[in-house]
Chains A and B, each alone.
Chain A
Amino acid sequence: MAEDQQDTTQDKTTPLHDEHVALGASLTGFGGWLMPLRYTSDLAEHRAVREAAGLFDLSHMGEIHLEGAQSGAALDQALVGNASAIGVGRARYSMICAEDGSVLDDLIVYRLADEHFLVVANAGNAPRVAAELVARSAGFDTVVTDRSAATALVAVQGPRAEEIVASLTADGDVDTVRSMKYYASAEATVAGIGVLLARTGYTGEDGFELFVPADRAVELWRALLAAGQSHGLVPAGLSARDSLRLEAGMPLYGHELDETTTPYEAGLGRVVKLDKTGADGEPLPFVGRDALAARAQSAPARVLVGLRGEGRRPARAGYDVVQRGLDGAVGAVVGHVTSGAPSPSLGYPVAMAYVTPEVSAEGTALAVDVRGRAEPFVVVPLPFYKRS
């Protein structure tokens, strides 16, 4: 049995680190951070989120604020989406691309006020995204502030999430919780702590993300755990987070998205607003526009698909997708797996993969080269799982 070697000596820790240690979490390095991989069992934590609720520490993510009269205009130019069209109290999924149209990060943009936007970036990319936003906002009336270090983030995800969060609010905030729409946000007081509450998540379930000052994170975490106990809430780590988002067909930067991919290949062309216009009604230039406009016109060289395993062995990121040969022989390579794991909720292996367009139709019988053996997989639509 070979043990994983990981040098985590340089990794940062979140304000909740000691809580994870006290809960007996197995820790892992991720994006430069030492994070809980699991507390008890990946499968149990995954199932808890689908059936009750899970509590996640997401404090490794980046929180970058833009404040000022031209914050929206600056983001319209810096990101691929139409940030200034986001209503106050609403959020949108977006991306920041390079000039050549390749994806630097995927993001959620929250509009907190007319002139105040919050951009949430992936942990490993946050410093670069912050630097790019500063550079791209030069000349706009906006101030870009990276508040990642001062901000902790916890998520409560699952069918019981609303009950749990509502039980820690009072008066008008109970309504705020219960009536909050998906991809909306508002200030609220939870467990006596002022938070930015958002109905966003990365699990395919209902849930909330709570942005809290770092020095109140432990207090909030403990309050949520206590309030959630009778509802079946458990702390959940990155392993469950990954299997949940994979079942929900959500991309993970570094797997489905990276600097070799454009939004179109990943099936996320809808995020790119080539037609967004400025105040003068003219098409708005934004970073990557020309390259992305060209890509939008041409047929993609590869397509992101969902794969369902017909055997029991999971496919893993990096494995070749191949033609299904006779007698289980490994056929010609037609793509590669970007993410793969057993699906705890569905009971079969699931994977996402880039394949050539000719083999991307639903129902195409393919195989994955799993360490030298051809395991049968079939192309299925994404997502694999949708909550009822």
Chain B
Amino acid sequence: MADFPENLRYSAEHEWVDDASPATIGVTSVAADALGDVVYLELPEVGATIEAGAVVGEIESTKSVSELYSPVSGTVVEVNQSAVDDPAVVNSDPFGAGWLFKVDVSSRGALLTAEEYAAQAG
């Protein structure tokens, strides 16, 4: 059994995406644990066109800043303002309330299943 939600798909850069329409995207618990306490989020703007594999924002913790990549191409339709206001939710619930943004997907990049991600993330 995978350690990660099976209904989601994963990128090598530790983002997750669901299969809804529009799709919801966040970062995994692996990313959140590696970062430490998240203190600041820079998310893409609503309406922005984004490309799978491109940098779309930043996620900053007490000690470091990491780039946020998009696992899909499409148009951003919503960002999680609650997370922007209280970034700690990314640590406490990265697969749920810590979601980051939603996209009308035009195409998906190379994605991993929960098992494949678990094997890779070690």
Contacts and interface: CB of A to CB of B under 8 A. Distances in A.
Interface of A: 1-4, 26, 37-38, 41-43, 239, 242-243, 312-314, 316, 341-342, 344, 371
B96 interface: no
A239 B36 contact: yes
Nearest to B87: A312
Given A4-B64, A371-B65, A313 B37 contact: no
A314 B39 contact: yes
A312 B39 CA distance: 9
A1 B31 contact: yes
B95 interface: no
A42 B34 contact: no
Interface string B47-70: 000000000001111111111110
A239 B37 CA distance: 11
Given A42-B36, A314-B40, A37 B67 contact: no
A185 to B, nearest CB: 32
A315 to B, nearest CB: 11
Interface string B81-117: 0000000100100000000000000000000000000
Interface string B1-21: 000000000000111000000
A236 to B, nearest CB: 13
B91 A42 contact: no
B76 interface: no
Given A2-B67, A344-B62, 11 more contacts: A1-B14, A1-B15, A1-B69, A2-B13, A4-B64, A26-B34, A42-B36, A313-B40, A314-B60, A341-B62, A342-B39
A313 B40 CA distance: 7
B91 to A, nearest CB: 7
B62 A312 contact: no
Given A1-B27, A371-B65, A38 B39 contact: no
A42 B65 contact: no
B47 to A, nearest CB: 20
A37 B59 contact: no
Which of A26, A37, A314: most chain B Cβ within 10 A?
A: A314
